Structure 1
Amino acid sequence: MLLLREMGVEVKTIKAGDGKTFPKQGDLLTMHYVGTLKDGTKFDSSRDRGKPFQFTIGVGQVIRGWDEGVMKMSLGEKAKLEITSDYGYGSSGAGDVIPPNADLDFEVCFRLKSSMFV
């Protein structure tokens, strides 16, 4: 298992990607994910909905831990993102689902990339 650390986010590779196709700021990404609290409680899953999540990387559409962690993944990679609360939802939390100051884990699979700047 490959491990990459940044402040606030740790990327643990579960399955290697192609090693050459990395997202750039402004790319539209399609990913599956499962989000859990540190105690293992699942709070969200694109897999449960049967529809992958699409977002633009590096423009603040997602939490900072995703913006920074996913940028280190290559196409096809499956990884676990371990995100500290300051790179997640911080002292606010997220509704009744994510408590304040919660560290989060996401199992993510980087499936598709398309550039918005063509």
Structure 2
Amino acid sequence: MPKMSLSCALKASPIFFLLLISTLVSAKSKDVTELQIGVKHKPDSCDIQARKGDRIKVHYRGTLTDGTVFDSSFERDSPIEFELGTGQVIKGWDQGLLGACVGEKRKLKIPSKLGYGDQGSPPTIPGGATLIFETEVVAVNGKTSSEGKTKDAEL
């Protein structure tokens, strides 16, 4: 292994120090600037995918980047139902759930510009907040399974 001279090390130190600091700062910053979609579970069969204009039912847990839960349909056992892609929910959901299958679980990291923006949603969501949602699509246009059966038909 080659040895570095002291003068070389001293010259490299400020650059190394700046790189180290910038890496630590960016690692600490949990804010995102673009929508991030992570597929956590995808069913074996994906015959029904959510498209713009579809009525979908979604279970979700919303948290801030510090882990604070601000809302959860799982706790209420009541998924939200809305028309996808029509502005009934925040833009991060309209974009982040497109193409999701019935039964699919996604983790959405939503920048404030696709969430509640600079104004937030007081008192639970501060302005400029990045939002993290764990989502599960439970129905698309009344279909609750990828085979197209409704929940009542399965009983």
Q: TM-score, normalised by structure 1?
A: 0.86
Q: Which of 42, 64, 84 is residue 16 of structure 1 equivalent to?
A: 42
Q: CA deviation at 1:20?
A: 3.9
- In the other structure, the counterpart of 1:43 is 70
- In the other structure, the counterpart of 1:103 is 130
Native 8 Å contact 1:32 1:109 kept in 2: yes
- In the other structure, the counterpart of 2:139 is 112
Query: Per chain length, whose mean CA-contact separation is higher, i.e. which structure has more relative contact order (CA < 8 Å, sep 6+)?
Result: 1
Native 8 Å contact 1:34 1:45 kept in 2: yes
Specify every segment of 5 or more residues in structure 1 that has no aligned partner in the other structure, as ranges: 1-6
CA RMSD of aligned residues (A): 1.4
Q: Whole-Å Cα distance in 1 between the matches of residues 99 and 132 of structure 2?
A: 16
Structure exhibiting the larger radius of gyration computed from Cα positions: 2
Q: Whole-Å Cα distance in 2 between the matches of residues 98 and 105 of structure 1?
A: 12
Give identity over the alignment, percent. Answer: 39
Q: Which of 54, 62, 75 is residue 102 of structure 2 equivalent to?
A: 75
Q: Whole-Å Cα distance in 1 between the matches of residues 135 and 61 of structure 2?
A: 7
Specify every segment of 5 or more residues in structure 2 that has no aligned partner in the other structure, as ranges: 1-32, 143-155
Q: Whole-Å Cα distance in 2 between the matches of residues 96 and 106 of structure 1?
A: 18
Q: CA deviation at 1:98?
A: 0.3
1:88 pairs with 2:78:
no
State the SS of the aligned residue for 1:67.
Answer: helix
- In the other structure, the counterpart of 2:61 is 34
The runs of at least 4 consecutive aligned structure 1 residues that moved more than 6 Å come to none
Q: How many residues in Structure 1 have an aligned counterpart in Structure 2?
A: 109
Q: Whole-Å Cα distance in 2 between the matches of residues 27 and 50 of structure 1?
A: 22
1:54 pairs with 2:81:
yes
Greater strand content: 1
Q: TM-score, normalised by structure 2?
A: 0.67
- In the other structure, the counterpart of 1:3 is none
